[in-house]
Amino acid sequence: MTPATSRTTVLLDALAGYGPFFGCDSHAAGSAVADGWFPLAAFVDDPAAVHRRVRAVRERLAARHGVAPDAFERRIAVSVCHLGFAARLISPVLALAALHDLPVAPRLDTLRMRPASCGTFPLSLPRDLLTGPGVEVEDAADALVAGVLGPLGDAFAALSVSRHLLWGNVASAVGGAVVSLVAAAPERTGPVRAAAAALLARPELAGTFAAEQDGGLRRRSCCLYYRASPRAERATAVCGDCVLG
């Protein structure tokens, strides 16, 4: 096993230990796409693929709430689906920067995913990201927000959900990843929050959240999920970081 291979294995094992939103596979840059994997860019650039994923989420949420899929508000499913994608992409990048001193600059055309009927989807990173030496934290934030999360947001905004809400989802996903990483490595709270701050400082996220004294954040838009609850219960059916809470 070469030193580069050993380093990749150690990093992938570590990411998997932080939870399902963090674990990743890896592939050689420029290698053929096979075994059910496909470029993330192909999903983002294909409205039909985005519609299919949203439809699957809508069906799952509708079943959970005991209603027919077409009776479940589609905008909720769009937002929930987008939030899941944002969390899946942000989590491993934040972990690499904060816990492994390896800020990476992912590119949409080199990331790969596998379809999943529900829950988190398998994500593969190009191996050269994991072998270092990494980039500046601010450059990593720029690459992730502008080059990956921006196009992803464009794809979901086409389904009649506001960009302010979608960027709020991104801020919420950053906050969720921080909670998980601080729980996993409390001694690295400082680096975790510093890496998150670099993401949250991007101009696209301006006005989407408010910092709280305990280091958490409260978003300034709503992911809409509270609307899935019966009307009488909506006042309390909010997320922990919700603007309505």
CA distance 225 to 171: 16
Residues 39-91 have pLDDT tens digits of 999 999 999 999 999 999 999 999 988 999 999 999 999 999 999 999 999 99
- Pick left, alpha or beta for residue 160 (phi over 0 → left; psi -120 to 50 → alpha; otherwise beta): left
Rg (CA), the chain: 18
The answer to pTM > 0.95 is no
Mean of all residue pLDDT scores within the chain: 89
Q: pLDDT digit string (tens) for 154-170?
A: 999 999 999 999 999 99
